[in-house]
Amino acid sequence: MNKIRAYLFAGSTLTIILVAVFLWVLNVGKPSEYTTEPFNILIILTIIAIICLAAFFARGPVFNIYGKLEAVNINAILITVLVIIQMAFFFEIISVHNQILNYQVYDKIRYATTVAERSTDEDLDRDLTHLLSFSITDIMVLDEDGNVIHSSDQNLIGTLSVEDNYTFPFGDGRRIKFIIDRTYNHDELRNEILDLLTVLVTSIFFSVEIVIMMLRIIQRKIEASITDDSLGTAVVEDNQSKMISALYYIRQISFVFYFASRLSSAFIPTMAKELINPLSFISDNTAAGLPQSAETLLTCSAIFITTIILERKGWKLPFMSGLILVALGTFISAVSPNLPVFILSRAVVGLGYGLCWMTLRNLSLFGKDEKEKLLGFALLNAGIYAGMNCGSALGAILADIFGYRTVFAISAVLTIMTSLFIIKLENSILPRKNTNNAKKGVDSLHTDTKEGKFLSSDTIPFAQKIQAIIFVILMIAPASIAASYLTYYLPLYFQNMGASTTDVGRAQLIYGIIIVYAGPMLSMFLITAADKSLKTMNIVYSLMIAVSLFVPGFGSGILLPFLGAGLLGLADSFGFGVQNNYYLSLPAIEHLGASRSLSVLSFTKKMLEMIGPFVFAAAIMIGYQAGIRLLAVIFGLMAILFIILGKKKNELHHNRRP
């Protein structure tokens, strides 16, 4: 018990220190007068937090009365400590920064007053204009009656002005008045506040995953010790039923991999746009989409070969190979001198990502029964979105501080370090299914379970094929293309309007959080709602995608794109599942079998995602707002066309009935 408490304390302490270090990194480049006092407070709070953790893990309710670990208590104490540290640091650094900004404004006022007093009446209007700054938008001199006699804005001369807190004596009964931009301080502090809040949210995700990882490792060791102390026969039975370590740690593996590999996801198009482009016949916006498309194309190439490797060599070979390729491609991205090299580097990343992604998807099939397989899928999705949320948000913040290339290098190092986590896990080979089709080696034949006959792909009725094709074109295509809104459109849009890369990361974070937390609740609501068929839910999904794209096209500014990302996350939170289920329920797809259908679906979606950047590039040729509005309208019309075609099919089917 004491060893377990010590292990949990060490892991929790490391988490606290990592968050504190990141807060230091986030602010280390700022002037010392901004950070000296907040950094001292951060150190003191970190020490106090470690002492509190030591007391909790030494005597606190780490175990329940049955001797089992209390995950809720451990998470609660760690999250509470993290929130207290960051909120205290948050208020301190914002308070200090605000005070310094106010001091700088008054310092500029003193300087401007001194210069104005030395100016002659003939030169005063001109000199007042030169003294303006971002925080001081106008300066005027008033006579005894409050009339403007000199001003940086000639239109105000002769008007009457009311004194305020920024009006000061100017000699000979005159006064000098400064017009201060009251939003200046708020604008200066806004990004800092958002950065700190982003770190707070991502640190909670991170701490939860760290606690879960520690608990899984401890539980695994406890199970191993029980097995070692059991009788021989019991050991055999336990080993037969024991979950393989790769499936046991699938959430942790996926979290670490996606966290490391997705640090750069917020700025790939913007970096591509800034690189030297020797391909003069390609526009900048189109060129910005080429790296992502190359990455997706190579991901597609790994979909089918990964399963073959899993069945012959086990899961470690494709996953380790994928890690090496992702790290290599990411490193090449960091040193790319021009666009063609950058495109090549992202293609290498795509091939490696495809190997890792398909390996993780297939790991759930290693479960000994359906319950374990469903659990594997659930854990996989939780790890993926937690890793993507943390990686994209923190990577965007680091990019604004250190630059794109530095983040690529960090991502490459962390990706290759992921291998340290899995290197000791045992290898396992994906079990092959013994089917008549496999024995005969005939891919184009499928078993009709009702009649016991083999059916050729050519015997699938033409109407069923058309039904599947229509669904792919009108429903799956818009959903797959819309994924480029987050990875392609937003980075270019925010760059165009002068926003930061961190804003892209925050939009992706909002999207991920909504999927993680709204998805299960919304899915349960739709499942239990009366008269909600899969077809109806797919139509709702497509219309929500259209709305989510129309919102940012409705006006300019930074708020609407965030709202669009949130709506897209809300749509995808239930849409992925209902779209997959409807696709697999189509008669033409059922003939293919579940395994082959999933492979075809994955390949189809990835190919459509590949063309997503080009679709958005074509749309924004008429303008960012106008282009995405047009795209939203087209997607909405495609959903309506799907409804119309569905009704016509039902009418034809009804008329043919005797």
Ranges 113-122, 221-230, 537-546: which has the least confidence = 221-230
For residue 279, pLDDT over 80 is answered with no
Picking from 493, 508, 632, 636, the residue whose alpha carbon sits closest to that of residue 556 is: 493
Q: Measuring CA to CA, how many Å separate 330 from each of 265, 323, 414, 534, 539?
A: 11, 10, 11, 40, 38
Look up residue 621 and give its DSSP letter: G
Q: Give residue for tokens 């005939």.
A: 442
- Please give the pLDDT value at position 379: 78
Ranges 262-266, 305-309, 559-563, 637-641: which has the least confidence = 305-309
Q: Measuring CA to CA, how many Å separate 247 from each of 211, 254, 516?
A: 18, 11, 21
State whether residue 500 is helix, strand or coil. Answer: coil
Give Cβ neighbours of residue 358 (< 8 Å, ≥ 6 apart): 302, 303, 306, 307, 318, 602
CATH classification of 243-431, choosing from 1.20.1250.20, 3.90.226.10, 3.40.190.10, 3.90.228.20? 1.20.1250.20
Give the Cα separation of 658 and 69 in Å (integer): 65
For residue 531, pLDDT over 80 is answered with no
pTM score? 0.77
For residue 166, pLDDT over 70 is answered with yes
Strands 453-456 and 445-448 turn out to be antiparallel
Please, are residues 507 and 394 in contact by the beta-carbon 8 Å criterion? Answer: no
- Please give the pLDDT value at position 595: 58
- Please give the pLDDT value at position 241: 46
Sheet containing 148-151: give its strands across. 148-151, 136-142, 174-180, 167-171
Give the Cα separation of 167 and 153 in Å (integer): 17
- Please give the pLDDT value at position 440: 43
- Please give the pLDDT value at position 651: 55
- Please give the pLDDT value at position 432: 57
Q: Measuring CA to CA, how many Å separate 357 from each of 268, 299, 310, 512?
A: 20, 9, 13, 18
Model confidence band, residue 475 (pLDDT cutoffs 50, 70, 90): very high
- Please give the pLDDT value at position 337: 92
- Please give the pLDDT value at position 442: 39
What CATH superfamily classification does 461-658 receive?
MFS general substrate transporter like domains (1.20.1250.20)
- Please give the pLDDT value at position 328: 96
Model confidence band, residue 576 (pLDDT cutoffs 50, 70, 90): confident
Most confident of 137-141, 344-348, 421-425: 344-348
Model confidence band, residue 321 (pLDDT cutoffs 50, 70, 90): very high
DSSP annotation string for 39-102: HHHHHHHHHHHHHHHHHHHHHSS-B-TTS-B-HHHHHHHHHHHHHHHHHHHHHHHHHHHHHHHH
- State percent of the chain over pLDDT 90: 25
| Domains 243-431 and 461-658 fall in the same CATH topology | yes
User: In this structure, what token pair is assigned to residue 238?
Assistant: 């336990």
- Please give the pLDDT value at position 367: 64
For residue 451, pLDDT over 50 is answered with no
Q: Which has more pLDDT, 418 or 550?
A: 550
The domain ranges of the chain are 1-116+189-242, 117-186, 243-431, 461-658
Ranges 132-136, 214-218, 392-396, 455-459: which has the least confidence = 455-459
For residue 236, pLDDT over 60 is answered with no
- Please give the pLDDT value at position 315: 83
Over residues 96-119, mean pLDDT:
87
Exposed, middle or buried: residue 605 (CB in 10 Å: 0-12, 13-18, 19+)? buried
Count Cβ neighbours within 10 Å for each residue of 77-86 and write b for 16 or more, e otherwise: bbeebbeebb
